[in-house]
Chain A
Amino acid sequence: MFKILGDTGEHLVVELDGDEVTVPAGVSVAAALLYLDRIPTRHSVVNGLPRAPYCMMGVCFECLIEVDGVVDQRACQLQVRAGQRLRRQLATSKVESA
């Protein structure tokens, strides 16, 4: 749903939901997910509603994601790093891991 203007910059490889994906370097995890068009990025804990980054400035906590095994990290406040293991907190993946 988002693209990079004049995309000539560097890219790096991260793991998203178990697959290797290429994302632009130097951007936040939330920006990378929007670039990949992988929304929703989570289902809400209360009623399982689909959600995605909303404010991009650390205020709304809608962008929560699992990073390197730690859940509920704000994706908009973390930069992408090569080899990072990202997992969207989706209802289906919860069932799989149970």
Chain B
Amino acid sequence: MQSAYQMVVIGAGPAGMAAAQTAARQGVEVAVIDEQPHPGGQIYRNVNASPLADIDLLGKDYVFGRQLVQGFEYAHLDYFANSGVWFLDRAGELGIVQDGVHRRVSAQRIVIACGAQERAMPFPGWDKAGVMTAGAAQILMKSAAMVPSEAPVLAGNGPLLLLLAWQYLRAGVRLRAIVDTAQSANRWPALRYFPQAIAASDYLFKGLKLVSAIRRARVPWFREASDLRALGEERLSALHFTCRGKPQHIDTTLLLLHQGVIPALQIAAAAGCETRWNSLQQCWQPQVDDWGQSSVDSVFVAGDAAGIGGARAAWLGGQLAGLQLAHQLGLIDAVKRDKLAQPIRKARARHLAIRPFLDTWYRVAESSLVPGDETLACRCEEVSVGEIRTLAAMGCTGPNQAKAFTRCGMGPCQGRFCGSTVEQVFASETAASPQQIGRFNTRPPLKPVTLGQIAGIAHNEQR
């Protein structure tokens, strides 16, 4: 690893790979830093190094990632796998831990392309051993060819839950039930966005294909489910819920949850990028212009890290960032940049056309975002929703003060999973919007790093 690059990209998912390749093609000196052993991000994880005998099992959209990863592997750039960023600043200094060794790198420009994370789905018992995210289940399939050995329950709301069900059925996994928390009341408001969604009708057809395959397999499908509660002592034993007014009980040792994804904001927030609340997508996102440049001039945010748009839009968004960076670094003029960008913008707009429809159709119910008092908001420090609610009622000024009072958000995950719940509880208690409430401050270290690793910097720099 050199000690300085023109451009450092954080994340080797579709947006990061695209930004890096596009800029490198124009002659920019690029390094890509990624936490995984192989490029592709979570969406295309292991696509070119799959342990599966047949990757078609996961569907066409996954297989599509092959060509993207191949192009990336041939690009003229430095790629660092198994590497995490634990520190960065506006001046372009980055602290990186690769395989336990700390290094410092400086960059004229940084592209943050660290994708999305699962939105928390808090309810009583969501912290039990045996409750996992749908994304985790997909990672096990992609990276280890692992599927449940006993029929799991899938619960929540959103396209990924249906995709997982479809993939499991193709892999011969039986499903115990789908406990669907989607609200039929969202359908009318969603129809308003239907005409524009037709431009991306391939997404609609795909959705219909998934639903009909699940129906054909006769998976018990509980709609409009609410009041979920996971039971069990040392590990999960059952799920309780209400469906159309009737209490239901299903014995299971594996419960897979999903209620949408949100931008992984940690690194952008630590870099000082301005963020805003997106009320349609019910999450925070960094403020970026239509090239992905953030409020900090030297920092770009691309792909789902800048707002949820899906893998294909992320790939195209990454290309736009790469072009603008090549321009700002003096390698292409504005005319060439705009000429290259025009078809990319057009294609990206088509992929994004489906989002308002999906975001509204799968809008998460208030009761799922602001659960009852006994639910754990912060799993790390074991702070309940009730404690946060009491603080809000007592006039606590917001998430950062709540942190000082309860240690909520101060555990090892640094608020990545409790942040949204804490904000939502404050917002509902004080009848304010999350934008007014604000979010947890983010400070380095962004990843665990030992003093020994930091002390080793000078040593590594001499080598």
Give me the interface of A with B, judged by CB distance under 8 Å.
1-6, 9, 24, 26-28, 31, 34-35, 39-41, 44, 46-47, 49-62, 64, 72, 74, 76-77, 79
Q: Is B412 within 8 A of A72, CB to CB? A: yes
Q: Is B139 within 8 A of A3, CB to CB? A: no
Known: A41-B129, A54-B127, A60-B379. 8 other contacts (CB 8 A): A1-B150, A1-B254, A5-B171, A28-B144, A50-B234, A54-B131, A56-B133, A57-B136
Q: Which residues of B contact A51 (CB under 8 A)?
A: 127, 129, 379
Chain B: which residue is nearest A54 at the CB level? B132
Q: Is B234 within 8 A of A40, CB to CB? A: yes
| Measured CA separation A61–B235 after assembly (Å) | 18
Interface: B247 (CB within 8 A)? no
| Measured CA separation A2–B149 after assembly (Å) | 5
| Measured CA separation A53–B448 after assembly (Å) | 17
| Measured CA separation A54–B148 after assembly (Å) | 14
Chain A: which residue is nearest B233 at the CB level? A50
Q: Which residues of B contact A40 (CB under 8 A)?
A: 129, 234-235
| Measured CA separation A61–B410 after assembly (Å) | 12
Chain A: which residue is nearest B149 at the CB level? A3
Interface: B180 (CB within 8 A)? no
| Measured CA separation A64–B380 after assembly (Å) | 11
Contact for A60 among B51, B253, B416, CB less than 8 A: B416
Q: Which residues of B contact A6 (CB under 8 A)?
A: 53, 145
Name 8 A/B residue pairs within 8 A (Cβ), A-sorted. Answer: A4-B144, A5-B147, A28-B143, A39-B235, A50-B129, A50-B235, A59-B417, A72-B448
Q: Is B136 within 8 A of A54, CB to CB? A: yes
Q: A56-B135, A56-B139, A61-B412 are in contact. Are A2 and B129 (CB under 8 A)?
A: no
3 shortest A-B CB distances, which residue pairs? Answer: A52-B129, A56-B136, A61-B412
Interface: B128 (CB within 8 A)? yes
Q: Is A57 within 8 A of B117, CB to CB? A: yes
Contact for A2 among B127, B131, B140, CB less than 8 A: B140
Q: Is A59 within 8 A of B144, CB to CB? A: no
Q: Which residues of B contact A31 (CB under 8 A)?
A: 140, 143-144, 146
How distant is A80 from chain B, measured CB to nearest CB, in Å? Answer: 10
Interface: B35 (CB within 8 A)? yes
How distant is B116 from chain A, measured CB to nearest CB, in Å? Answer: 10
How distant is B387 from chain A, measured CB to nearest CB, in Å? Answer: 13
Contact for B146 among A5, A54, A74, A79, CB less than 8 A: A5
Q: Is A49 within 8 A of B127, CB to CB? A: yes
Q: Is A53 within 8 A of B132, CB to CB? A: yes
Overall SS of chain A's interface: loop
| Measured CA separation A24–B53 after assembly (Å) | 15
Q: Which residues of A contact B144 (CB under 8 A)?
A: 4, 24, 26-28, 31, 35
Q: Is A58 within 8 A of B139, CB to CB? A: no
Q: Which residues of B contact A58 (CB under 8 A)?
A: 35, 84
Q: Is A2 within 8 A of B135, CB to CB? A: no
| Measured CA separation A3–B140 after assembly (Å) | 10
Q: Which residues of B contact A74 (CB under 8 A)?
A: 448
Contact for A44 among B382, B416, B448, CB less than 8 A: B382
Q: Is B382 within 8 A of A49, CB to CB? A: yes
Hey, what's the 0/1 contact readout for B36-51 against A, CB within 8 Å counting as 1? 0100001000000001
Q: Which residues of B contact A27 (CB under 8 A)?
A: 51, 143-144, 146
Q: Which residues of B contact A39 (CB under 8 A)?
A: 129-130, 235
Q: Name, among B127, B171, B381, the residue most crowded by chain A CB atoms within 10 Å (CB to CB).
A: B127
How distant is A13 from chain B, measured CB to nearest CB, in Å? Answer: 17
How distant is A65 from chain B, measured CB to nearest CB, in Å? Answer: 13
Q: A3-B146, A4-B145, A31-B143 are in contact. Are A77 and B136 (CB under 8 A)?
A: no
Interface: B352 (CB within 8 A)? no
Interface: B118 (CB within 8 A)? yes
Interface: B200 (CB within 8 A)? no
| Measured CA separation A1–B255 after assembly (Å) | 11
Q: Which residues of B contact A53 (CB under 8 A)?
A: 132, 136
| Measured CA separation A79–B379 after assembly (Å) | 25
Interface: B344 (CB within 8 A)? no
Q: Which residues of A contact B233 (CB under 8 A)?
A: 50
Q: Which residues of B contact A50 (CB under 8 A)?
A: 128-129, 233-235
| Measured CA separation A1–B233 after assembly (Å) | 17
Hey, what's the 0/1 contact readout for B245-272 against A, CB within 8 Å counting as 1? 0000000011000000000100000000
Hey, what's the 0/1 contact readout for B13-52 against A, CB within 8 Å counting as 1? 0000000000000000000000101000010000000011
Q: Is B118 within 8 A of A1, CB to CB? A: no
CB-CB contacts below 8 Å: B307-325 with A = none
| Measured CA separation A58–B417 after assembly (Å) | 12
Interface: B330 (CB within 8 A)? no
How distant is A24 from chain B, measured CB to nearest CB, in Å? Answer: 7
Q: Is A46 within 8 A of B381, CB to CB? A: yes
